[in-house]
């Protein structure tokens, strides 16, 4: 039987080597899910809601231990791991509160002896292939509404968040989800690939653009529902009328939180020339004040880089920028192991010939570019193939709304950043993906509408 080696990215230590899935076990799990799904779909919604309520209670009861596991397997600072778990609770509450209304039968017409009705039926068996950076968030954004709407879920957590994936599955089973209805598949890309070879009714993927494209190509002949939540190169513009100091502090957090490994991390900053120097000074001071080190320490802010190959990507972006004339204010290099570490890095004097302003960094590095005004800022913000989030800092709400309406992104922020709400749809434009999670749309996403034309005899 194959196994998966799970290492702690902060120490390099082998944590555990669980059994992994192979093509035969993936096929068996898919068959079991297919057989079990109709009975789960027929369970009354009130019972499904009670199951998810018990799952929520299970998360609360084990929160500290679950946070420690998350920190050990992907290097997230422990305070931020607890924040992720605490942030999960209102998401679960949103799904508990909104599912009934989101999938209620709709009676849309009565007349001339005809009755027209819409029902929302489950997709069936859905695959969730997931990322490691916020495994509780991106896992449960799919799993919870998929289960509440009557689907069976074949969940392939990232190989860098497998233990968390197994905990999610265990807690759902303990809460009352039948074992065959919610199954965890252990392994890396080849297990994801084996999953895509099964008969499925939906594929919900969170991860990189490159893998997303491969998945889209693999499932194209199946003509199934496909959602891809991919990377970004999220820009923020600090306007001339903004407070440069509070903007710098907020954006330093938005760029470096989770060691810069958030899909909606601030990845590019454009600052009006009149504020640039004050902004940069406060930004650099804020970053220098962020403690990097043992992720299990409560005051650590910058943890380990989860995937070792990303260190070379970060170094190449920094070297490319410096070679083309950028100024390096702090960081700029990896730290020797054990573990994978990259010092928080601030670059100014950057421009769009540099990789750091074009390709997703997904680490603790940021480029800050001076701009002359709104038109230049908007043109630069839109000069990207991605479109996940974008923000503007200004005192002028009307101007913020005017500028954000022109930005090509699924989510826009005024005077805030790196924020996700369960009440709002989470989606990407361009190479940031297709489909959405969260909001009531992200509940209906796991159903198909069925149209009824009913004539009385
Ligand atoms: P990744 O693409 O390397 O892996 C994602 C998942 O795909 C993993 O479970 C992996 O095992 C699996 N996989 C890899 N190759 C596969 C294949 N050929 N077939 C099927 N499955 C395969 O991404 P990652 O490193 O886990 O995540 C980081 C990326 O995710 C970043 O680009 C980040 O921006 C993005 N992300 C996006 C969102 C969002 O909501 N838009 C949220 C979190 C992360």
3-state SS, one letter per residue, for 315-346:
HHHHHHHHHCCCEEEECCCEECCCCCEECCEE
Per the rule left: phi > 0, alpha: psi between -120 and 50, beta: everything else, 200 is: beta
Q: Which residue's CA is the nearest one to ligand 1's atom 8?
A: 158
Whether the bond between 338 and the residue before it is cis, its omega within 30 degrees of 0, is yes
Tell me yes or no: is domain 235-416 CATH 3.30.420.40.
Answer: no
Instruction: Give the relative orientation of helices 78-103 and 63-74 as an angle to the nearest 10 degrees.
Output: 110
Give the closest residue to 360 by CA, choosing from 380, 339, 385, 381. 385
Q: Which atom of ligand 1 is nearest to the CA of 306?
A: 25
**How many Å apart are CA 354 and CA 321, to the nearest integer?**
5
- Minimum CA distance residue for ligand 1 atom 16: 189
Nearest ligand 1 atom to alpha carbon 437: 40
For the chain, the structural domain boundaries read: 6-231+431-455, 235-416
Distance, CA of 416 to CA of 422 (rounded, Å): 16
The alpha carbon of 129 and the centre of ligand 1 are apart by a number of angstroms equal to 8
Active site residue 62: no
HSE-CB at 379 with a 13 A cutoff on CA atoms is 8
- Residues in contact with ligand 1 (CB, 6 Å cut-off): 129-134, 138, 156, 158-159, 188-189, 192-193, 196, 206-208, 211, 214-215, 229-232, 263, 360, 362, 388, 426, 428, 433
pTM higher than 0.85 = yes
The per-residue pLDDT string of the chain (457 residues; one tens digit each, 9 = 90 and over) reads: 899 999 999 999 999 999 999 999 999 999 999 999 999 999 999 999 999 999 999 999 999 999 999 999 999 999 999 999 999 999 999 999 999 999 999 999 999 999 999 999 999 999 999 999 999 999 999 999 999 999 999 999 999 999 999 999 999 999 999 999 999 999 999 999 999 999 999 999 999 999 999 999 999 999 999 999 999 999 999 999 999 999 999 999 999 999 999 999 999 999 999 999 999 999 999 999 999 999 999 999 999 999 999 999 999 999 999 999 999 999 999 999 999 999 999 999 999 999 999 999 999 999 999 999 999 999 999 999 999 999 999 999 999 999 999 999 999 999 999 999 999 999 999 999 999 999 999 999 999 999 999 999 9
* Residue 258 in tokens: 């989770």
308 C-alpha to ligand 1 centroid (Å): 15
Round to whole Å and give the CA distance between 20 and 8: 18
Q: How far is the CA of 137 from the centre of ligand 1 (A)?
A: 14
**330 assigned to active site:** no
Domain 6-231+431-455 architecture: 3-Layer(aba) Sandwich (3.40)
């Amino acid at each position: 039987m194959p196994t998966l080696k799970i290492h702690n990215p902060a120490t390099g230590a082998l944590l555990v080597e669980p059994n992994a899935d192979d093509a035969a076990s993936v096929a068996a799990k898919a068959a079991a899910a297919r057989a079990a799904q109709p009975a789960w779909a027929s369970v009354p919604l009130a019972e499904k809601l009670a199951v998810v309520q018990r799952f929520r209670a299970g998360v609360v009861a084990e929160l500290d231990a679950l946070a420690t596991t998350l920190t050990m397997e992907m290097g997230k600072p422990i305070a931020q791991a607890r924040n992720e778990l605490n942030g999960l609770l209102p998401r679960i509450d949103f799904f508990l509160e909104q599912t009934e209304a989101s999938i209620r039968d709709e009676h849309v017409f009565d007349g001339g002896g005809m009755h027209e009705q819409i029902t929302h039926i489950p997709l069936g068996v859905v695959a969730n292939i997931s990322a490691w950076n916020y495994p509780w968030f991106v896992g449960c954004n799919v799993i919870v509404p998929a289960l509440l709407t009557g689907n069976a879920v074949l969940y392939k957590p990232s190989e860098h968040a497998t233990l968390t994936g197994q905990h999610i599955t265990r807690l759902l089973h303990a809460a009352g989800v039948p074992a065959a209805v919610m199954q965890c598949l252990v392994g890396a890309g080849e297990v994801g690939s084996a999953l895509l070879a099964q008969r499925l009714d939906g594929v919900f993927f969170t991860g990189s653009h490159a893998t997303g494209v491969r998945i889209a190509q693999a499932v194209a002949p199946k003509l199934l529902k496909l959602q891809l939540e991919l990377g970004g190169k999220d820009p923020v513009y600090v306007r001339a009328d903004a407070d440069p100091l509070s903007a710098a502090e907020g954006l330093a957090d938005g760029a470096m939180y989770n060691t810069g490994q958030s899909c909606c991390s601030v990845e590019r900053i454009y600052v009006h020339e009149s504020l640039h120097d004050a902004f940069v000074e406060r930004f650099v001071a804020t970053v220098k004040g962020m403690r990097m080190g043992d992720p299990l320490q409560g005051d650590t802010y910058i943890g380990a880089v989860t995937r070792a190959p990303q260190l070379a990507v970060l170094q190449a972006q920094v070297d490319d920028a410096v070679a083309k004339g950028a100024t390096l204010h702090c960081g700029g290099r990896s730290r020797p192991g054990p573990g994978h570490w990259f010092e928080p890095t601030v670059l100014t004097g950057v421009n769009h010939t540099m990789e750091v302003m074009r390709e997703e960094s997904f680490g603790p590095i940021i480029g800050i570019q001076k701009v002359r005004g709104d038109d230049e800022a908007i043109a630069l913000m839109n000069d990207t193939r991605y479109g996940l989030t974008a923000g503007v800092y200004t005192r002028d709400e009307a101007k913020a709304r005017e500028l954000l309406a022109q930005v090509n992104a699924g989510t826009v922020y005024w005077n805030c950043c790196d924020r996700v709400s369960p009440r709002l749809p989470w989606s990407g434009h361009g190479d940031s993906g297709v489909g959405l999670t969260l909001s009531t749309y992200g509940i209906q996403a796991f159903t198909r509408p069925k149209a009824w034309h009913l004539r009385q005899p």
